[in-house]
Amino acid sequence: MIVAIDGPAGSGKSTIAKKTAEQLGFVYIDTGAMYRALTYGYLQAPIDCSKKEERIAFLERMKVGFNQKNEITLNDIVIKDEIRTSEVSEKVSYICSFPEIREAMTQLQRELAKKHSVIMDGRDIGTSVFPNADLKLFFVADSKERARRRQLDYLAKGIEKTVEEVEKEIVKRDELDSSRELSPLCKAKDAIEIDTTALSIDEVCEKIFLLVDERKGA
């Protein structure tokens, strides 16, 4: 079974997808972390992304994956906080915009889902990666609330930013993700929208459990 969760930054995708997967015994695949890992690699050894040959060479030397603990790895090295910096956040939409990079990540994501029931979150899972997913969800939330959540993530890593600063970053990321030509952030026609603004994590998870049960019984 494939559950696809899409939505903008800070809408709760990763937190809820991870917890739901644990409860259901599904494999959780954080596609955002995959793109962030590539972006981190790019920042370590910048390439000229305007040149196709450099993008292809970059992909050939950057191996993104997950270890047995489901931790994201780049060239078999676990990376955690490194991919959650503001520098990575500022560049990830840019890196995601190139067709060779999206194609490589899409194929990898499809391979990861072949052997297990999965919950996969991102921005184009239900529209591009798995258009035939068993259950498609699209999370939304007020931009101020999303900024507050992201600010807490930053503070936990020792990064101090105001809610207003984070909200500006999020709105800019929304614009970039929604307007890009290739696999833009958008709600699939058959996706169920969930507004997480005023809901707790457990409340959203419970909604998903019920929807998964419905699909299993269909």
The tokens of 98 are what? Answer: 């190139």
Q: How confident is the model at residue 218 (pLDDT cuts 50, 70, 90)?
A: low
Give the chain's domains with CATH numbers: 2-209 (3.40.50.300)
As a whole number, mean pLDDT of residues 146-160 equals: 90
For residue 64, what are the β-bridge partners?
Answer: 74
Q: Which positions make up the binding site for ATP?
A: 7-15
d(CA 185, CA 38): 19
Q: Quick check: 197 pLDDT over 90?
A: yes
Asked if 107 contacts 166 with a C-beta cutoff of 8 angstroms, the reply is no
The tokens of 37 are what? Answer: 């890992």
> What pLDDT, on a 0 to 100 scale, did the predictor assign at position 147?
95
Q: Quick check: 115 pLDDT over 90?
A: no
Asked if 184 contacts 130 with a C-beta cutoff of 8 angstroms, the reply is no
| DSSP symbol at 181 | S
User: Sign of the C-alpha dihedral, residues 190, 188, 65, 53?
Assistant: positive
Whole-model pTM: value is 0.85
Q: Are strands 135-140 and 118-122 parallel, antiparallel or unpaired?
A: unpaired
Q: Which positions make up the binding site?
A: 7-15
